[in-house]
Structure 1
Amino acid sequence: MSRVFGDRKTVLILLVPVLAVYGLLKVVPVLWSLGLSFFEGNTLRGFEFVGFDNFTTFFTDGPALHALWVTVYFAVVMTAAQVVMGYLLALMYVFVLRKGSAFLRTAVFFPMVLPTVAVAMLFKSFVAVGDNQGPVNDVINLFGGDSVEFLATTSGTMTVAILMTLWTSMGFYAVLLYTGLLDIPDEVIESARIDGASGLRLVRHIVLPLSAPILLSSIIFSFNSTLKVFDSLLALNNGGPGTSTSPLTLYMYRTAFEYAEYGYGSTIALVLTLLCLVFTVTVFRSSAKRTED
């Protein structure tokens, strides 16, 4: 094996096709989109070089800034919810259920494999009003309250979207964090218990510091994935009511493909990419600085 991979020619033969496909599918579209962000127009009207005008337009475009706010708000709330719920479930798997957690892990992870549209339809039926009223409003009526049209308001739609996304994703983060907790040596836990640490004290002083790397990875992964939210808000209420819950990805899609403004759409995509990059670099740098201290 070492002879094969020690041969430079063999390594090149194996790597070049992979790198070529990766470059064709990943690097070229990114560079193409970056180039388009300096132009205005489409294939029918033609393209006109406008320099940084698209970026100036973005930061003075009310709907774009609102979509940016929706995106960041959703990402922050979802990251906190996914990581916290995932971590609590992981702690339960390791310290409470232990070997009996396999079935629960599978059951909690299962919503992850369901199609987003199907999940959105399910949650819409839960909060429905009228002749096909859902169980949520049935419970509200049972306690003497009036039926609530959750999807008729911005706050209601965002609440349903957050709960829906959390339900489908927390199983994934629970398994991810569970694998990180399993890497903590049993000897360390036993020594801490002998020294009198238990419950919250054990988690705070032993488990949490030792699981910090996987927690950091989960936060970065969660924030970057929820920044790119698209299908859940589209399927749930089409970014409504109106465009009040339209994220940046949906605004980019409509700009580029419904209004055929490819240059401005590429600019929005670039802003979203830079947002992901800035967050990731900031978290890594702050983590590295804290480790050095």
Structure 2
Amino acid sequence: MVADKTGTLYIVATPIGNLGDLSPRAQEILHQVNLIAAEDTRHSAGLLRHFGITTAMISLHEYNEKQQVEALITRCKAGVSIALISDAGTPLISDPGYRMVRQGRQAGIPIVPIPGPCAAVTALSVAGLPSDRFVFEGFLPVKANARYARLHQLADENRTLIFYEAPRRLLESMQAMVEIFGPEREGVIARELTKFYEAVHTGGLATLLTWVEQSPESDRGELVLLIHGADKKQDFIKQEALKVLAPLLKILPLKQAVAVAVEITGFKRNDLYQLALRL
């Protein structure tokens, strides 16, 4: 597996929880490479120890990737084969490694994927939401204003939306989603996938928000949020409402324009208000 002249860069997916999900092929590669580039060597040490893997490790994370990549590419060109792993799941998916892969390709180094778990796809597979077309958004912005702005941009997206979120920000993100997507939009909160306390909560966003507010366990563990895409009815409402709101907003304050638009169209005030804000 390890090249004689030019080393190979392996992109190795690791378990997102259950250690049994590390494939035999991944184990073989991690045993055979010369070096493992890990997001957090302390975290990955437990995984490697569990499988009796003694390969040397070096850290490659978001804060040192720029500095480390050149040296690692040089080592690959000299015949050293490297396995890139993240703390959990498939590397590069909301994890470091992009620069390593890009520069490796530019340098002509063989790059081989060793597929396995990915939290986003795992959550989608059990969510019960449309899965033929979806959008992976990763983590929402930390600052509230930027978070609201991004969600507003996605309000009319008709593909299933997939987000990662930190437990400490779950409540704020759910509140923003209820406000922007509407309380009835269908959503899913997937927690601790493949782990002992795995749970998948489904329902309207208002229902999910209530669960987050009332459940002490909601602010613990790894989280994936999935949101049903905007439906055709909402698209129709938007187009019809635009015809009414756009001219009203030119001559009236926002709240007054919304009130008049509600009288004219009969559409829900909250839907028109959110559209007016985006306008």
TM-score by length of 1: 0.22
Bigger proportion of residues as helix: 1
With CA pairs under 8 Å and 6+ residues apart, which has the higher RCO, 1 or 2?
1
- Give 1 or 2: higher strand fraction: 2
TM-score, structure 2 as length reference: 0.23
